[in-house]
Structure 1
Amino acid sequence: MASFECTGWVEQGGIRLSMAEVEKIVRGDPEQIRTFGGEFAFSFNGCSARDHFGIIPGPGPRGVLICNEKVRFSIEPDPAPSSLEEAIVTAIKLRSDEGITALSGGVDSSLVAALAGRDCVSVGLSGSHDLARARQAADMLGLTCTEVVITPDDIESALPAVIAAIPRKDPVNTSIAVTLYFVAQWAGEHGYQRILAGQGADELFGGYSRYLTTPTLEEDLARDVAGLEQQAARDQAVAALHGTYLSMPYLDIRVMRAACAIPAHEKVCDGQRKIPLRAVAEHYIPPELAGYKKKAMQYGSGVWGVLKKLARKNGYKTSVQDYIDHIGQVKHGH
């Protein structure tokens, strides 16, 4: 019998399936794959499939079953409509049977951490904003959080592998990917494959400060949500270097549908951002965490500052991009 290989996890109608159940279905009644939800990539008998949003990397395009290089059908899970709160609670519950939570202390990751109830990990330079915030958040939530303290030398050593792995090799993507690299490294070294993360919340709920002043909020949010697939590809490419993957409850189809149905002006209003998410979070985490406005990952971890210093140290005083390009060329032997 041809081998069945699967990364990630599968659900049908809100019920988690074991790998044995998934294998039985794909071998015996593959039409059921149409309704598979979750985060997965699997292959069997010359066929391969990836989840609807393509969260898990794998052969072929996302959201389809391909057999012998031909598309057989689309994979389109259709869960019952739910409120945003119900969607978030369900999405996190489905993912929280194993793994570690990446915690930075903001509302996104704190809500995931609280509902998942798993041990956490935070990454940053010594004395960085994110390490301090994650420590405080974990204490408030009664969770264990391992602090991974990184150094400029660690970052410099990781850059060639990170830059080679990520699709878009610019300063912002590189600095975010470097931070995630160390989260994934720690997870892999300690036997975790799944890393629960708060990715996608800023785009779905209006978390960036630029949303406060844009005259085209609706269009900006729609564009940024459309770009989440590229972000997932970046994050998973780095996680895969350590045999791990990021699980993203905010990119669950239930959450995506509920969030996208909320008008933009209800997400960002009167100087406030992520209003619907904070309203849900207040039911599960202390108000101080639900309302906290944290720094972006690359700044809060301290990685961005080190990246600029490394560029200057290596002779690229005015362009971090040139430094990144140089590393990419050296990596490929040019």
Structure 2
Amino acid sequence: MDGTVLSLSDVEKIVKTDPGQIRRFGGEFAFSFGSCHARDHFGIVRGPGQKGAVVCNGQVRCSIEPAPAPCTLDEAIVTAVRIRSGEGVTALSGGVDSSLVAALAGRECVAVGLKGSHDLEQARHAADLLGLTCTEVEITQEEIADALPAVIAAIPKKDPVNTSIAVTQYFIARWAGEHGHRRILAGQGADELFGGYARYLASPALEEDLARDVAGLEAQADRDQAVAALHGTYLSMPYLDIRVVRAARAIPAHEKVHDGQRKIPLREVAGRHIPQELAVYGKKAMQYGSGVWGVLKKLARKNGYKTSVQDYINHIGRVEHGH
């Protein structure tokens, strides 16, 4: 709240003495008290009740509208990471998004991928440049096959892209849970807020595309948190801090993507905190860089679905439901 990290006892005291203060809560949270439920402004944490509201007996009592003081994008990102860095581990892939979070958090990192995969090699390089400890978790085709039923059962949208991303998150969360970490700091949201996808370069309506993709971040968070919950963990997303979102939305789309460059404002901030090599690095998407997408296609072919990964996913879902 206002840049201050509240302890559980702080929240309990506010709930008992001045529950109206909950409307100013920022960060990521979901909790219940009496017959009421409260969830954060963007709905990053799963829980009962609607996002951004205090709901009591099924009725919205008040909206949660944090109003932090205006700040620069740099200040917003630094603050967002600081208030989330008291515990946990950082998911590192070596791109600008996760490298900036990792550098500012200064916590232990974890990287996941198949042996020899792009993400493992780049995360190792990034951790070396940043002077951080990074555990490399090598996953195998067999482990991915074993994880698929649980992943597909957990995620809301069961298509190839969401499944391959969720499988990668599954192994990050598994390692974190096994090593006593509940919070996983992650770089989600940066691509949508700052224009990171290659398709933005050719977009004839960039402002509209970015707005649509930002609106889809809640569904992405739901997917990622569902998988993380399988291992008793959750993803903490500094780029979806209200300070960062507001600062990002104030930047015109043409300043985020132009002249063949993407995520320009974020890279400018990153260049002040991490080596320039990492600030300008263009990384593959998680499902490709980890090698998971290639394995998913291979497993589909191996199980008789040569032309459709979606059919393979549907098959696993039917088996899990006893059909």
| Shared fold, TM over 0.5 | yes
> AA paired with 1:91?
A
* 2:190 counterpart residue number: 201
Distance in 2 between residues matched to 1:321 and 1:259, nearest whole Å: 35
Is 2:11 aligned against 1:26?
A: no
Q: SS state of the match for residue 306, structure 1?
A: helix
Is 2:208 aligned against 1:219?
A: yes
Give 1:131 shift.
0.1
Within the candidate set 155, 161, 164, 1:175 is matched to: 164
- Written as runs of structure 1 = structure 2, the 5 A alignment for 1:287-298 is 287-298=276-287
Cα distance per residue 1:145-193 (max 9 Å; x no partner)? 0000000000000000000100110000000000000000000000000
Distance in 1 between residues matched to 2:215 and 2:51, nearest whole Å: 14
Q: SS state of the match for residue 5, structure 2?
A: strand
Give 1:83 shift.
0.7
- Written as runs of structure 1 = structure 2, the 5 A alignment for 1:1-334 is 12-334=1-323
Q: CA RMSD in A?
A: 0.5
> AA paired with 1:293?
G
> AA paired with 1:105?
G
Distance in 2 between residues matched to 1:71 and 1:211, nearest whole Å: 38
Give 1:41 shift.
0.6
* 1:5 counterpart residue number: none
Q: Higher mean Cα deviation, 163-172 or 63-72?
A: 63-72
Q: SS state of the match for residue 174, structure 2?
A: helix
Give 1:60 shift.
1.0
Residue identity over aligned pairs, in percent, reads 78
* 1:4 counterpart residue number: none
Give 1:70 shift.
1.5
Give 1:27 shift.
1.3
Q: Point out 4+ residue stretches in structure 1 off by more than 4 angstroms.
A: none
Number of residues paired by the alignment?
323
Distance in 2 between residues matched to 1:221 and 1:36, nearest whole Å: 26
TM-score (structure 1 length as normaliser):
0.96
Give 1:285 shift.
0.3
Distance in 2 between residues matched to 1:126 and 1:97, nearest whole Å: 31
Q: SS state of the match for residue 148, structure 1?
A: strand
> AA paired with 1:20?
S
Structure 2 spans left out of the alignment, 5+ residues? none
Distance in 1 between residues matched to 2:4 and 2:44, nearest whole Å: 19
> AA paired with 1:150?
I
* 1:7 counterpart residue number: none
* 1:6 counterpart residue number: none
Give 1:45 shift.
1.1
Give 1:143 shift.
0.2
* 1:8 counterpart residue number: none
> AA paired with 2:222?
A
